[in-house]
């Protein structure tokens, strides 16, 4: 996409502007990439950060979960920035530069199924160098999950770390000392030379993340040395991800206990569920649904306000691991009926809404 500017003064300004540093956040499904991004965006570091969020599924749930960057976030959904929507990635980055107030930094959160090498190679293309420069690749790891990923998933998860300048070894709260030592050794083995930060909720030293300290830290871009031919052999692109995705949306409030039951009994082929839902128990709140492996959580994020409440859920499974009809039936069955006999929270809510005069 050419950077055409009708305004000669602006054109001069653009050609003189240093290239925009790009940070790539990579890591397997559910490792904590959005958590890291939210942390970066919520801290006061004095840098104007533009954000690009890629979700593999048709609905970009991550973009809805990102805080405090209204107008600064570009969503890239329904494909993977490392292959099928790579051109959209370039267009979106260049679009950021053409804004009246371009960001100082660009952070790209890749989907949990993306290969960061392909994304990084995009920014090493000579024609993009005057505008965009690769600053850093951050690999986020779920300390509990990494050792259990095998076969194609294990290969992808390792690839996502192998090229990282820094590894955020996250969720250390979920593992004991011995398991942590093992996963630390595993990360060292996969990504020798990369700097490892062990974190809870992805709390990392932001100065390093945002590039100011990169040179001081003596980091390199392993990707710049990666052999593209070797890489092409190890990862077939365009529609060859070992994953399937499925999504569901609904305008009626859902029942909390029914939704819990369905999510907790999803088949093992489904690794990740995420969504924003409206529950009949708490209809004014947007509730974030998260499932990573077998861990499920529901937390309120914001009020619906003037926005019409709408539940949207995305599932990511192994290839062929989605039975659409069964899932459709299961989630349709989560629609709330107003029956409080199965829902203590609904019963409590009604009780609190009832005036004392009506109770007596
Ligand atoms: N126990 C624990 N949970 C965490 C930690 N960091 C993040 N989480 C939770 O892990 C879940 C997934 O986190 P996300 O930040 O959405 O992960 P992600 O890598 O963006 O997920 P995808 O975009 O689907 O790949 C959420 O429920 C987080 O609250 C942590 O340090 N410990």
DSSP codes, 259-304: HHHHHHT--TTEEEEEEEE-BSSSTTEEEEEEEETTEEEEEEEEE-
Please state whether 74 falls in left (phi above 0), alpha (psi between -120 and 50) or beta.
beta
CA angle (87, 92, 95) in 5-degree steps: 125
**CA 77: distance to chain centroid?**
11
- Ligand 1 atom with the shortest distance to the CA of 37: 15
Class of domain 243-359 as given by CATH: alpha beta
Cα(27)–Cα(157) distance, rounded to whole angstroms?
7
pLDDT over 60 (residue 237): no
Q: What is the mean pLDDT of residues 56-85?
A: 66
Q: Give the Å distance between the CA of 198 and the centre of ligand 1.
A: 14
- Select the more confidently predicted residue: 222 or 273: 273
Mean pLDDT across the chain, nearest whole number?
A: 81
Q: How far is the CA of 173 from the centre of ligand 1 (A)?
A: 12
Domain boundaries, the chain: 8-234, 243-359
The answer, yes or no, to whether ipTM is higher than 0.95 is yes
pTM (2 d.p.):
0.82
Q: Tell me which residues have their CB closer than 6 angstroms to ligand 1.
A: 27, 29-35, 62, 112, 170-171, 173-174, 200-202, 272, 274, 290, 292, 297
* 251 CB-near residues (< 8 Å, 6+ apart): 308, 309, 310, 311
Q: Which ligand 1 atom sits closest to the C-alpha of 112?
A: 25
Yes or no: say if 313 and 274 are a contact pair by the CB < 8 Å rule: yes
Which helix (H) or strand (E) segment is 207 a member of?
A: helix 206-209
* CATH class (in words) of the domain with range 8-234: alpha beta
Averaged pLDDT, 247-260: 96
Give the residue, by CA position, lying nearest to ligand 1 atom 30: 171
Taking the mean position of all CA atoms in its chain, how far away is CA 235?
21
Q: In what order do the strands lie in the sheet with 311-318?
A: 243-250, 311-318, 270-277, 285-292, 295-303
* Same-fold call for 8-234 versus 243-359: no
Which residues have C-beta within 8 Å of that of residue 360, sequence separation ≥ 6? none
Q: Percent of the chain, pLDDT > 70?
A: 79
The CA 125 to ligand 1 mean position distance, Å, reads 32
**pLDDT of res. 84:** 61
Which pLDDT does position 130 carry in this prediction?
86
Contact (Cβ atoms closer than 8 angstroms) between residue 20 and residue 9:
no
Residues 6 or more apart from 212 whose CB is under 8 A from it?
none
Q: Ligand 1, from 35, 113, 270: best to mutate by most atoms within 8 Å of Cβ?
A: 35
Structure tokens at 85: 């929507």
**Which of the two residues, 217 and 126, has the higher pLDDT score?**
126
The angle, 0 to 180 degrees and rounded to 10, between the axes of the packed helices 151-162 and 177-190 is 70
What pLDDT, on the 0 to 100 scale, is given for residue 308?
95
Task: Label residue 358 by pLDDT band (50, 70, 90).
Answer: low
Closest CA to 66 of 33, 38, 30: 38
Q: Whose CA is nearest to atom 7 of ligand 1?
A: 32
Higher pLDDT, 277 or 231: 277
**Nearest CA owner, ligand 1 atom 12:** 30
Question: How far is CA 88 from each of CA 39, 92, 134, 202, rounded to the nearest angstrom?
Answer: 26, 6, 17, 28
% residues pLDDT > 90 (the chain): 42
Owner of token pair 């991550």: 62
**pLDDT given for residue 291 in this prediction:** 94
What is the pLDDT, as a whole number, of residue 340?
Answer: 79
For atom 11 of ligand 1, the residue with the nearest CA is: 30
């Amino acid at each position: 996409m050419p950077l055409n500017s009708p305004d000669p003064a602006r054109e001069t300004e653009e050609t003189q502007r240093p290239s925009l540093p790009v940070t790539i956040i990579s890591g397997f499904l559910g490792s904590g990439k959005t958590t890291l991004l939210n942390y970066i965006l919520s801290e006061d570091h004095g840098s104007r950060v533009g954000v690009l969020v890629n979700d593999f599924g048709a609905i970009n749930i991550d973009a809805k979960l990102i805080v405090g960057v209204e107008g600064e976030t570009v969503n890239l959904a329904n494909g993977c920035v490392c292959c099928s929507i790579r051109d959209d990635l370039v267009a979106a980055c260049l679009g950021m530069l053409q804004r009246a107030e371009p960001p100082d930094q660009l952070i790209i959160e890749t989907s949990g199924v993306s290969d960061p090498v392909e994304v990084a190679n995009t920014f090493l293309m000579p024609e993009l160098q005057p505008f965009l420069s690769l600053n850093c690749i951050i690999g986020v790891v779920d300390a509990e999950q990494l050792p259990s990923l095998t076969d194609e998933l294990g290969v992808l998860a390792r690839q996502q770390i192998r090229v990282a300048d820094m590894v955020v070894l996250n969720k250390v709260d979920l593992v004991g000392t011995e398991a942590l030592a093992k996963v630390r050794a595993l990360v060292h083995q996969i990504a020798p030379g990369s700097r490892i930060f062990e974190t809870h909720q992805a709390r990392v030293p932001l100065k390093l993340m945002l590039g100011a300290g990169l040179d001081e830290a003596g980091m390199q871009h392993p990707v710049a040395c990666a052999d593209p031919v070797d890489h092409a052999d190890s990862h077939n692109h365009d529609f060859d991800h070992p994953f399937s995705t499925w999504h569901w949306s609904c305008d009626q409030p859902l029942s909390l206990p029914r939704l819990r039951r369905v999510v907790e009994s999803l088949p093992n082929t489904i690794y990740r569920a995420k969504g924003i839902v409206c529950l009949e128990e708490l209809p004014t709140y947007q509730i974030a649904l998260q499932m990573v492996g077998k861990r499920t959580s529901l937390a309120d994020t914001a009020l619906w306000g003037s926005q019409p409440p709408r539940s949207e859920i995305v599932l990511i499974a192994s290839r062929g691991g989605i039975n659409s009809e069964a899932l459709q039936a299961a989630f349709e069955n989560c629609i709330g009926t107003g029956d409080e006999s199965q829902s203590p929270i609904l019963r409590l809510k009604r009780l609190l809404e009832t005036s004392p005069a009506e109770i007596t």
